[in-house]
């Protein structure tokens, strides 16, 4: 329910709060609300989007923190620059060069409080009320929520197996002055779909003939089961691409460290917005993260994560093939953390969620991922924040729920 914005007297005699009208159009995080329901340890949850806690390198982080705090350098606990710790930005820039062959300057990188703040800042500096924003269908609910604050007009672009529908995107961009097209090319959240290389080039050709910016959310790019990296959209659209990245999936989400890569003219305005928001990101976390990256081999750690996630993903896919009704469609991710289910028409994902919860398993209805009211028969499954035993038990329970309803 949206917050009250009127000043009429309420039933208890108090006057209503004068909230900004934009809050009426900003949805709650449905995922956060569901996570409250699934805090019961007896419930096996495939509803969230959390990394596997057993893969967080607590010993390595503890060592890095001890090193940083043991240097008797009080500057690590002081205010710092808005752009972020320069050696950390240099590390990120060098990693782009090694991993994707991208030429990125540290001056084009801004350290943020998680990649969610990237979306908040991008919304603040680009979106005015009534502006046109294109987004994948289904699209990441965190972006929908962040951009909704600024009251844009969303234009969903359907996802096919190889990426966004190019004809639909071309039609949207031809008819309207679209400021941003937000997408997740690698292991998309929620669908798990990865854009193919030909589709990336096709999309870039379409966008390149416009003034539209492509916001490339690359939160899952490192979680690639094949180990083969596909090109960034920045390779094709160097002046029209903004990249967002995160340490949450490969280091620890509680450290709240992300970053945005943007052309110099965009970066200048993002820095101003960041200063107005929180001055700078957690400096101690930045120093600990950088120390960790110097002391540990992050590539070895990422390979370990990918090995576990690949095993868990394939186990879940096999359970779907063996246990689910044949009318249930599903994606087969190349990485990331999610599988997307499409149920037969007429089967409500909300009803499925409610019935599954009664059986001790939580899934996520797909409706919050749609800006046009769709998705009533879709479900997102998370395979990362689990164990093989929980996946087998939970998917067995879930299959029984689906068979009862179909």
Q: How far apart are CA 223 and CA 307, in angstroms?
A: 9
C-alpha to C-alpha distances, 77 to 146, 271, 304, nearest whole angstrom: 30, 21, 32
User: Count H helices, E strands: the chain?
Assistant: 13, 14
Rounded to whole angstroms, how far apart are CA atoms 3 and 17? Answer: 9
pLDDT at residue 31, rounded to an integer? 65
Cα 286–36–119 angle (5° rounding)?
40
Domain ranges of the chain: 27-56+300-405, 59-295
Predicted confidence at residue 35, as pLDDT, reads 67
Residue 9: predicted pLDDT: 47
Q: Residue 22 has what pLDDT? A: 80
pLDDT at 11: 56
What is the model's pLDDT at position 29?
A: 66
Q: pTM (2 decimals)? A: 0.92
Q: Which CATH class is domain 59-295?
A: alpha beta
Extended strands (E) in 221-278: 241-246, 258-261
What pLDDT shows up at residue 14? 59
A 10 A CB-CB count for 331 gives: 22
CATH topology (fold) of 27-56+300-405: 3.90.1150
Give one DSSP letter per residue of 82-106, joined into a string.
SS--HHHHHHHHHHHHHHH-----G
- Chunked in runs of 10, what are the mean pLDDT values of the chain (406 residues)? 46 69 73 68 90 97 97 92 98 97 97 96 98 98 95 98 98 97 98 98 98 98 94 98 98 97 98 96 97 98 98 98 97 98 95 94 95 95 96 98 94
Look up residue 121 and give its two tokens: 């800042």
């Amino acid at each position: 329910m949206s917050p009250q914005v009127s000043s009429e007297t309420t039933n208890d005699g108090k006057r209503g709060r004068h909230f900004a009208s934009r809050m009426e159009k900003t949805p709650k995080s449905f995922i956060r609300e569901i996570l409250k329901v699934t805090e019961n340890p007896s419930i096996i949850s495939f509803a969230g989007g959390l990394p596997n806690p057993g893969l967080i390198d607590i010993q390595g982080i503890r060592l890095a923190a001890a090193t940083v705090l043991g240097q008797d350098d009080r500057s690590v606990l002081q205010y710092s620059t808005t752009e972020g710790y320069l050696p950390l930005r240099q590390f990120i820039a060098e990693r782009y060069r090694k991993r994707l062959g991208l030429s990125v300057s540290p001056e084009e990188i801004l350290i943020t409080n998680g990649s969610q703040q990237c979306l908040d800042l991008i919304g603040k500096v680009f979106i005015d009320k009534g502006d046109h924003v294109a987004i994948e269908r289904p699209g990441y609910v965190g972006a929908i929520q962040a951009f909704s604050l600024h009251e844009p007009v969303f234009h969903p672009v359907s996802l096919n197996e190889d990426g966004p529908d190019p004809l639909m995107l071309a039609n949207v961009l031809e008819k309207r002055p679209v400021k941003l097209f937000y997408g997740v090319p690698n292991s998309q959240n929620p669908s798990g779909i990865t854009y193919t290389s030909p589709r990336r080039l096709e999309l870039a050709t379409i966008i390149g003939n416009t003034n539209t910016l492509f916001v490339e959310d690359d939160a899952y790019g490192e979680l690639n089961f094949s180990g083969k990296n596909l090109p960034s959209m920045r390779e094709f659209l160097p002046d029209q691409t903004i990249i967002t990245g995160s340490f949450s999936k490969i280091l620890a989400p509680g450290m709240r460290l992300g970053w945005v890569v943007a052309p110099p003219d965009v970066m200048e305005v993002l820095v101003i917005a960041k200063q107005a928001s929180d001055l700078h990101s957690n400096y101690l976390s930045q120093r600990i993260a950088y120390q960790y990256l110097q002391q540990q081999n992050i590539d070895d750690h990422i390979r370990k994560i990918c090995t576990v996630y690949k095993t868990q993903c394939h186990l879940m896919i096999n359970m779907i093939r063996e246990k689910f009704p044949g009318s249930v469609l599903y994606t087969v991710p190349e990485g990331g953390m999610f599988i997307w289910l499409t149920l037969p028409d007429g089967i409500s994902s909300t009803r499925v969620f409610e019935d599954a919860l009664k059986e001790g398993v939580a899934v996520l209805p797909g409706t919050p991922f749609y800006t046009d009211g769709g998705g009533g028969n879709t479900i997102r499954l998370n395979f990362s924040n689990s164990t093989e035993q929980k996946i087998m038990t939970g998917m067995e329970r879930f299959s029984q729920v689906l068979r009862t309803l179909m």
